[in-house]
Structure 1
Amino acid sequence: MEFGIFILMQQRGYHQTSAEVLRSAVEQTVTADQAGFDTAWYAEHHFSNYGLCPSPLMMIAHMAALTKRIRLGSAVCVLPMYHPARLLAEAGFCDSISNGRLEFGVGSGYQKFEFDRFGVNIEEAPEIFHEFLEVIQLGLKEKGFFYEGKHIQLPLTSISMRSVQKPMPPIWLATGHPDTQARAIREGHNLFVTALLSGKEKLQQMRDSLSAIAAKEGRDIDDTKVGLLRCAFASDNADEVTSYLENARYQRRISEALKFRRAQSDDGFMVKEEESPNDLTLDQMRANLPVGSVDQVVERMVQEIRILRPKHVAIQTQMGDFDHKTMLKQIELWGSRIIPAIRKELGDSMPAASVAAE
């Protein structure tokens, strides 16, 4: 059972600078490395305060020099916004500079706000994604390759910077679309899924859906590495838990505003927080999510893992303007107490997370 942290790098207001947000992300990654987490994940977003990391691979290259053992992942690189040949070279660079620690997550994107500014038609994004994914796999596996598609044509091409991991770094597809999930299962890729702020019923629905999709492909879903992105926070301090939940709801409100094209902004950058038709109360969120005391979080996480049976759980750490020092302590707490307790309850044979001594 693997555990990761997921860093969105949000800027909730101008009381935070972009440099401060970046420094917090760096410090949280270093702390997670020392605490024994398996992976640190970085999102990609552009042109708004929802997420400040414009290039997960740049972040990975930077963190490769500041960490010792933690794996470093893109969650995700939005394929339609790239030229796949350049992305291949940059992925090879990251895998080499990190000595084979790259987890290569890709997706099709969902924010029209971003696509418009890259000159990409979001209606074509799924089609572009699937075509570019073919190119990515060819370029990672083959020394020389060519491709003739609708959206890209490549003559005989060789990528100069090759990945260390053979035949290629693990590819993760972050998607809720059944067809793309089926492709991940069929081609042997890993899957990233999220229940957002919903509870155990949603996790059961996801498990049932993934099992059915795998069965149609003649596979067992347990043969696919599934990662779950989850909001979770352990503290006996009620104010800290409330702040975490409030920031989680803030993140969801901004995400929905951008996804459903109802985002409002006075300056074209800082998206206003407005109530969403899908809002949950903080009490509903407390009931749905692994939050509360250490024992409560461990018990709830074990229940959720037994329902969905993922092989990886990534905890969201940097949301909104949640207090950075408190989050560093939270990461340490997961490493010293929560992760070992979860693994013990699951009978996990993997070594318990501990502060790295290297």
Structure 2
Amino acid sequence: MNGVFMRFGVAPIQWDWYWNWTVEEVLTAEKLGFDSIWILEHHGREDMYYPSPLVALAGLASVTRRVELGSCILILPLYHPVHVAEDSAMVDLISGGRLILGVGLGYRREEYDLFQIPMKDRGRRMSESLILIRKLWMEPIVDFKGVFFEVRGFSLQPKPLRKPHPPIWVGGWSSQALKRAAEFGDAWFIGPVGALPDVKNSYLKYMNALKSFNKTLSRLPLVREIYVAEESGEAYEKALKYIGGMYFKDYASWRHPLVKNAKSFEDVARDRFIVGSPDDCISQIERFSRELKITDVIFRVHYPGMNIEEGLKVIRLIGGKIKPYFEELKS
């Protein structure tokens, strides 16, 4: 272990009309002492994602009391940054200062076509949006002129409650994305598809980028797919069914390169997913912790085909048998 205290987060079920399941999983996680709750974003998916992370987080803010609430991730180039700044400030106020704004580029051309935004502009739109959002949150009057957005004499009201502002976590894997995370973000948001060797390589690049901007590491969040069961065999069988089914159906339909080059579930899961008994999962999490200064680990716990009891069981096993192990190390 690297001696860094690790916070635990959950991305609950988030699709279709099962909002009551989302709330039940979130309240269970908060009761078990989890530190954060996360909502993802994609569009036109009935069995995996909500389309509006900030709307969902506002709803969860009204039923939770303690956990941080974050987007994982909000596809920032699809939005006007003034809307994001205003809506996220409202979520921060409703939650009592618990928002984390996680953002990324997205990769589905269909979503960019849907909103009639040229995908080739996404990187520059992202950088410009990050600059403007922070200014809107922190400055009394904003004058800004960029390539894509212009604001003259505008005062965002109300401001976020959290000071100096809600943390901004920036995802991405390319060298440019890592530089953007270091320059404009408060943390690099490590997505679930990166295998440990690739994550470590990108981590070193990110650390170098931080140094170039005279910054130091504050938080380093890691997102992982997980399936935990009392017995290793059951966990692997369920992971193959649920996580494997999701990747080889949905991610394959999106032409995701991870699935495109994989011949089996083992190829996809190796050095990426956390699967097994509680002891197995602890060992796998420790591998990442030994190599990286992870401060937050966020688990997606509910996959297409699972019922509410299966999702709750995974949350309870993490909260009851995995999380306490790392808390004891802290003490």
TM-score (norm 2): 0.89
Q: Do 2:143 and 2:154's aligned partners in 1 also have CA atoms closer than 8 Å?
A: yes
Paired residue for 1:241, among 221, 236, 239? 236
Counterpart CA distance in 1 for 2:269 and 2:177 is 31
Q: Hey, what does 2:26 align to over in structure 1?
A: 29
- 1:13-60 deviations in Å (ceiling 9; x for gaps): xxxxx112x332222111111111111110111123364311111111
Match among 286, 292, 296 for residue 302 of structure 1: 286
Following the alignment from structure 1 to structure 2, what is the Cα–Cα distance between the partners of residues 187 and 302?
Answer: 29
Deviations 1:299-318 (A, max 9, x none): 22112211122111101112
Which residue of 150, 159, 162 corresponds with 1:162?
159
Distance 1:214 1:115, change over 3 A: same
CA distance in 1, matches of 2:22, 2:47: 14
The answer for the alignment partner of 2:3 in structure 1 is none
In 2, distance between residues paired with 1:332 and 1:283?
26
Distance in 2 separating the partners of 1:286 and 1:152: 41
Residue 279 (structure 1) aligned with residue 266 (structure 2): no
Alignment partner, residue 272 of structure 1: none
How far the C-alpha of 1:213 sits from its partner, in A, is 3.6
> In the alignment, which of 96, 99, 104 is matched to residue 96 of structure 2?
99
CA contact (8 A) 2:54 2:87 kept: yes
Q: Distance in 1 between matches of 2:81 and 2:184?
A: 19
SS of equivalent residue, structure 1 residue 231: strand
Encode CA deviations 1:256-282: one digit per residue, 9 max, x unaligned: 432559xxxxxxxxxxxxx94333534
203 and 133 in structure 1: CA distance in 2 versus 1, 3 angstrom threshold: closer
1:343 matched residue in structure 2: 327
Residue identity opposite 1:279 in structure 2: A
Relative to structure 1, the CA distance from residue 211 to residue 149 in structure 2 (aligned partners, 3 Å threshold; closer, same or farther) is closer
Aligned residue in 2 for 1:230: 224
Counterparts of 2:205 and 2:113 in 1: how far apart (Å)?
A: 33
Paired residue secondary structure (2:190) = strand
1:239–1:336 Cα change, 3 Å: closer
Contact 1:6 1:316 in 2 (8 A): yes
Change (3 A) 1:312 1:85: same
Change (3 A) 1:152 1:71: same
Contact 1:2–1:312 (CA<8 Å) still a contact in 2? yes
| Equivalent pair of 1:203/1:304 in contact (CA under 8 Å) | no
Deviations 1:226-257 (A, max 9, x none): 11111222213433432233322233332343
Within 5 A, what are the aligned runs for 1:284-295? 284=267, 288=271, 289-295=273-279
Q: SS state of the match for residue 169, structure 1?
A: coil
Task: Return the alpha-carbon distance in structure 1 between the equivalents of residues 83 and 184 of structure 2.
Answer: 23
User: C-alpha separation between the residues in 1 aligned to 2:185 and 2:95?
Assistant: 23
Of 299, 305, 318, the residue aligned with 1:321 is 305
Match of 2:17 in 1: 19
Residue in structure 1 matching 2:198, options 187, 191, 202? 202
Mean CA deviation greater in 239-248 or 57-66: 239-248
**Could you give the per-residue CA deviations for residues 93-151 of structure 1, whole angstroms, max 9, x where no partner exists?**
10001001111112222111111111111111111111111110110111210211111
Cα pair 2:41 2:53 within 8 Å, conserved = yes
- 1:149 alignment partner, one of 146, 152, 156: 146
Offset, 1:84 = 1.4
Shift of 1:294: 1.3
1:137 is matched with which residue?
A: 134
Task: Tell me how large the CA RMSD over aligned residues is.
Answer: 2.4
What is the count of residue pairs matched by the alignment? 323
Stretch deviating more after TM superposition (173-182 or 240-249)? 240-249
Question: Structure 1 length as normaliser, TM-score?
Answer: 0.82
1:105 match: secondary structure: strand
Query: What's the secondary structure of 2:183's corresponding residue?
Result: helix
Note the C-alpha offset of 1:287. 5.2
Match of 2:116 among 100, 114, 119: 119
Kindly indicate whether the alpha-carbon contact (under 8 Å) linking 1:50 and 1:255 is maintained by their aligned counterparts in 2: no
Aligned with 2:129: secondary structure?
A: helix
